[in-house]
Amino acid sequence: MSKYILTAFVLFTMNINAKHQKLNLQKAIEMRLVKTNALSLGGHQGYCIRINLISTSPDSLIIYIEAGRRLNSLEETNQDILIVKQETIALGKFENKWVKVKGYCCQSDNHSPTQNAKYEINKLADSNLVSLARSLNAGVFDPEIEQQAIWAISDKKPTANISCKNDSLALPLRQLVAGLKGEPLPWYTIISKVFVYRSGSMQNYPQLLRGHLSYSNEIDNYVTLFILDKNGKEVCLLKSQWLKACANEKYDLNVPVKGLAKGKYSIGLRTENKELTKREFEI
């Protein structure tokens, strides 16, 4: 008799386990196991979106909301949001549930969404943004660094913007983004500040240029640090000082660039008669 009871128990257990389907959100949508919609909680980064999942299944579900999913704004002026943190959601049969998700703006020229702005779930973003989102899901970075990393790919902003005061924290992310974009790691970094206006429009303001210039000076000389625009026109003389004769010395930069317009520039050192070094940068 116990043999039949054991067999029945095993079959019952197998049946219960079969009802707990585990699948990502994309698959659940394609199989029509869930209905979805999304609303903004206000703002352009962090846990700024809530997603509504409505199960249409008579069985329980485990749904993975993927890092790398791009949520499209239903208002053209508002920013799309890239999800960067995977969420695992348990749904009972026919259950209706709201969940907050972590994401960032991936349209820097659009407006930061207001509370309850509507979004469609859409699909995964392009491969570079998906790769970045999965790396952000696996790591822990400062929010401003994460945002600059996304804009460096989604809006083709300079990779050098992925920076902070303690640059060792930002370097791994800057290396990743440079690799995804197929470009060399920038020799410099730009400390920036993002300002959000009341209208919701946003502006990224460069504050400081950091890095170093390698130079050689044959004799003790009076040297000037300068910046030129892309046409070679001098836009500012930053500093003049005596530098001793040296070979392959490093000149550390911590230069204010707050007043410079977006574009390409070069920075260098020169004496009265000779240019010692010059390198290009972009803001």
3-class secondary structure, 207: strand
3-class secondary structure, 274: coil
Mean pLDDT of the chain: 91
Cα–Cα distances (Å) from 8 to 1, 11, 13, 15, in that order, read 11, 5, 9, 11
Report pLDDT for 123.
86
pLDDT tens, residue by residue, 223-237: 999 999 999 999 988
Give me the residue spans of the domains in the chain: 18-186, 206-282
Q: If pLDDT is split at 50, 70 and 90, which confidence band does 219 have? A: very high
Which region holds residue 83: left if phi is over 0, alpha if psi is between -120 and 50, else beta?
A: beta
pTM: 0.86
User: With 50 as the cut, is the pLDDT of residue 158 above it?
Assistant: yes
**CATH topology (fold) of 206-282:** Immunoglobulin-like (2.60.40)
User: With 90 as the cut, is the pLDDT of residue 150 above it?
Assistant: yes
Report pLDDT for 209.
96
Beta bridge partners of 279: 267
CB atoms within 10 A of CB 275: 11
Q: Region 153-165: what's the mean pLDDT?
A: 94
Q: How far apart are the first and last CA of the chain?
A: 80
User: With 90 as the cut, is the pLDDT of residue 122 above it?
Assistant: no
The CA distance from 103 to 223, in Å, is 47
User: With 80 as the cut, is the pLDDT of residue 75 above it?
Assistant: yes
pLDDT tens, residue by residue, 9-62: 433 443 444 467 899 999 999 999 999 999 999 999 999 999 999 999 999 999
Report pLDDT for 140.
84
Beta strands at 221-229 and 264-270: parallel, antiparallel or unpaired: antiparallel
3-class secondary structure, 60: coil
Report pLDDT for 21.
87
> What are the b/e assignments for 31-68, b being 16+ CB within 10 Å?
eebbebebbbbebbbbebbbbebebebeeebebbbbbb
3-class secondary structure, 84: coil
Report pLDDT for 19.
60
User: With 80 as the cut, is the pLDDT of residue 5 above it?
Assistant: no
Phi, psi angle pair for 66, to nearest 5°? -75, 140
